[in-house]
Structure 1
Amino acid sequence: MENALQIQAKKKVLIVAMTGSTLLYLAGPTDVFSQANKYLEEAGIKNGYEVLIVSPASNKKITTEAGISIDCQYSILDFNDEIDTLIIAGNDFGELSQKALQEFYNWLSKRNKENTRRIASICGGAFALAKAGMLDGRKATTHWYLAERMKKAYPNIKVNANPFYTNSDDGHIFTSAGVTTGIDLSIALVEHDFGKDIAIKVARKLVFYLNRPGLQSQFGSLVQEYETGHIAQKAQLWLTEHLHERLDVNQVADYMNMSPRNFTRVFTKQTGVSPAKFIEKLRVEKARKFLENTEIPIERIAEQCGLGGLVSMRRIFLRHLMTTPSDYRRTFQSAKYPGMDHIMETA
């Protein structure tokens, strides 16, 4: 196997830096493949990866979200031969930029298994693949904040906002979630190409996971923001002050000056969730804040947030966040506790 790897040409990895990209979209994957090259050379394998950051348009200058400009050596439009790995890093949703990138989308739509071994996206880059028609009927992910937008814009895509990255059934199309997940995906690609030993060395060097625990759902809010005057926004104002109490739909409907039946019907229609499910999500969100910012015992948090006891809270956390309260605290707890213990005691 080693001799076969030695005689292969370097795998050409092109990372398309979309305008407005976060620097980590580019730096993360580039560092993964560059570190992989070092360990491959140590193993006597000279032909690892050739990594190039390219612009999506003929203008080879890219302005990142941080305001840093990058002068690319190449435009993606310069490449019409075979590519090993194509990664679309981020996306600029501005209408003018989309218009200016029409030539890029035409180029992208012609990429297939015959000329590109695998195609991937990071964060909003999935929208570029969707626009080019590459994700129709496929499972895909993107940043949790953009998931609903993708579902509405492209109903034929099987959007799942939970995983850090996805792989199509045929192994041709990969999509990753927000920012740092480009690193997760790139390490997985290295493992696929050169095995676990090389991949785990890269992960250790970058102080990263070979397989990061958790899911995207742990990062996003369970409750979306509603405009002032929306029925959910009005109900939330009252509910947040009463989450420690035993609540039912009659109490909320009474506050809203509506009959329980009418309130339930209107609320469910306008939000897509029942009042009971909405209250449960609010309780989890409140509990998350205390887990993140205090040392208060989990049992006490469960009581104050209306989540019952430890067993009930654990079950609800697993349902909504796919992790336990104790694991969530270990992952997201702040290094400092800005006086929230006092807030808890007076709640």
Structure 2
Amino acid sequence: MNQEDLSVRKDKPKKQVVIVAMTGHMLLDFSGPADVFNCANTIIERSGGSGGYNVLVVSPTATKQVTTSAGIEINCMYSVMEVRGHIDTLLIAGSNDVQNLDDPNYQEFYSWLSAADQQTRRVGSVCAGAFALAKAGLLNGKRATTHWDRGGQLQKNYPLVQVDSNPFYTKDGKIYTSGGVSSGIDLALALVEEDYGREIAMQVARRLVFYLNRPGFQVQFGNLLPVQDHQNIAEKMRPWMIEHLHEPLDIVRLADHINMSPRNFTRVFHKQTGTPPAKYVEKLRVEAARKYLEDTDSTLEEIAEKCGLGGLVSMRRTFLRHLMVTPSDYRRAFRTSLADVIT
């Protein structure tokens, strides 16, 4: 490993990283990225280089107090409005209740944030922090991600944002967004790699016992089928469909089950769910297969048959299309936590 590969120079100053810890978030939302940057400092120093990061965790309000979802109160040294000088990287970690973004206690923060891209090299978010960026207008016309369970709400609340809830993190110009909780670590590692090269980022990942690039082509493993209103035609039929996944479920059979014509059934189903019936059934099969992979020792062949996914080749192709991971790799990643360590 040479000095050029490390992208470390003796004359590099520290980059100012400001992480805004929002009320109601998980500790990992801000502690994860902070640990990545601080760990990078240690590795850069040991490599004989200079640079690295000056990391500040700050509050979004003048009280400087932040309450986490675990009930732990954080007393920050500064509020973000008190930070002076150039900010290299600004991260909004988590968010207060996204239903209450109009809380008057945050209005000064949002006013400050709306102009933040003028005084920072790059701006990013962790998990629901994307809502704060969107409220400040920084995501208008931008591609962005957030926790898979919040993607629909982000798109509904801020239609000018191009929401994609699949990636662990995204970059659009100088705006970076990341998905749920631990994805903030993925984003921070990517930022370290961007600043100081792959070797430094790899050493940080190893030190934290974390992937530099997680398998699955950076896709979040959220539910393929969000819960619908109980009056929704799909929710009414869902229990029956689950019982018959191992059987053919074409449009005619689905329509017959609910005493509708195939044409009218297709129109109503698509209107209520936003998904064609055939695509819904395919996603339901994948969801069922995921549970078998997570909770049972059934063979892949048995699971493919039980869920109506055809043979191994067909199930593999379907998993790659929806989850960007093979059934075997999914089982290794998500099977019952202690299944491979209990003796």
Normalising to structure 1: TM-score of the pair? 0.92
Identify the residue that residue 11 of structure 1 maps to in structure 2.
15
Deviations 1:120-177 (A, max 9, x none): 1001111111111111111111111111111122222221111111111x3x111111
Q: Which residue of the partner structure matches residue 254 of structure 1?
A: 256
Change over 3 Å in CA distance of 1:237–1:146 after alignment to 2: same
Q: Give the structure 2 partner of residue 344 of structure 1.
A: none
Aligned-partner Cα distance in 2 for 1:121–1:296:
40
- The aligned counterpart of 2:105 is 100
Matched letter for residue 83 of structure 2:
F
Deviation, 1:77, is 1.0
- For 2:146, which of 133, 142, 146 is the aligned residue? 142
Question: Which whole-Å CA distance do the structure 2 matches of 1:154 and 1:67 have between them?
Answer: 30
- Give the conservation status (yes or no) of the 8 Å contact 1:293–1:336: no
Distance 1:182 1:235 in 2: 38
**Separation of aligned partners in 2, 1:125 and 1:163:** 15
CA shift, 1:201, in A, is 0.9
Say if 2:114 is the partner of 1:109.
yes
Tell me the CA shift for residue 217 of structure 1.
Answer: 4.8
Q: CA deviation at 1:4?
A: 7.6
Amino acid at match of 2:110: Y
Match of 2:243 in 1: 241
Q: Distance in 2 between matches of 1:94 and 1:152?
A: 12
Q: CA deviation at 1:80?
A: 4.5
Choose from 196, 221, 224 the match for 1:222. 224
Q: Summarize the alignment of residues 192-231 of structure 1 with structure 2, pairs less than 5 Å apart.
A: 192-215=194-217, 217=219, 219-231=221-233
Structure 2 CA distance for aligned equivalents of residues 166 and 96 of structure 1: 23
CA distance, structure 2, for counterparts of residue 230 and residue 265 of structure 1: 13
Alpha-carbon distance, 1:313 to partner: 1.0
**Does residue 167 of structure 1 match 2:171?**
yes
Distance 2:19 2:233 in 1: 44
Mapped to 2, the partners of 1:335 and 1:85 lie a distance apart of 35
1:97/1:73 CA distance change after superposition, 3 Å = farther
1:71–1:336 distance in 2 versus 1, CA, 3 Å: closer
2:272 is matched with 270
2:289 is the alignment partner of 1:284: no
Aligned to 1:90: 94
Q: Aligned partners of 2:283 and 2:66: how far apart in 1?
A: 40
Shift of 1:229: 2.2
Letter in 1 for 2:95: N
Report if aligned partners of 1:162, 1:215 keep a CA contact under 8 Å in 2. Answer: no
Q: How many residues align?
A: 334
DSSP-derived class of the 1:33 partner: helix
Distance 2:243 2:338 in 1: 25
Q: 151, 154, 157: which is aligned to 1:153?
A: 157
Distance 2:281 2:51 in 1: 56
Q: Secondary structure at the match of 1:121?
A: strand
Deviates more, 1:56-65 or 1:38-47: 38-47
Distance in 1 of aligned mates of 2:199 and 2:305: 46
CA contact (8 A) 1:161 1:216 kept: no
Give CA deviations for 1:173-201 in whole Å, capped at 9, x if unaligned: 11111100111111111111111221111
CA RMSD of aligned residues (A): 1.8
- Residue deviations 1:6-43 (CA, integer Å, cap 9, x gap): 22322111100000110001111111111111111112
Structure 1 residue identity aligned to 2:60: P
Using the aligned pairs only, state the percent identity.
57
Tell me: CA distance 1:199–1:329, structure 2 relative to 1, closer, same or farther (3 Å).
Answer: same
CA contact (8 A) 2:65 2:76 kept: yes
Q: CA deviation at 1:227?
A: 2.3
Find the counterpart in structure 2 of residue 342 from structure 1: none
Q: What is the alpha-carbon distance in structure 2 between the residues aligned to residue 96 and residue 281 of structure 1?
A: 33
Is structure 2 residue 87 aligned with structure 1 residue 79? no
Aligned residues of 2:167 and 2:220 also touching (Cα < 8 A): no
**Which segment drifts farther, 31-40 or 62-71?**
31-40
For residues 205-243 of structure 1, the C-alpha deviation after alignment (integer angstroms, 9 at most, x for no partner) is 000111112156552111111222221111112111111
Q: How does 1:315-334 map to 2 (within 5 A)?
A: 315-334=317-336
Q: Closer, same or farther in 2 for the Cα pair 1:217/1:166, shift >3 Å?
A: closer
User: What whole-Å deviation, never above 9, does each CA across 1:237-290 have from its counterpart, x for those lacking one?
Assistant: 211111111122222222212222211111111111111111111111111111
State the SS of the aligned residue for 1:316: helix
Match of 1:127 in 2: 131
CA distance in 2 between partners of 1:336 and 1:213 (Å): 20
Corresponding position of 1:345: none
Q: TM-score, normalised by structure 2?
A: 0.93
- What is the one-letter code of the residue matched to 2:225? V
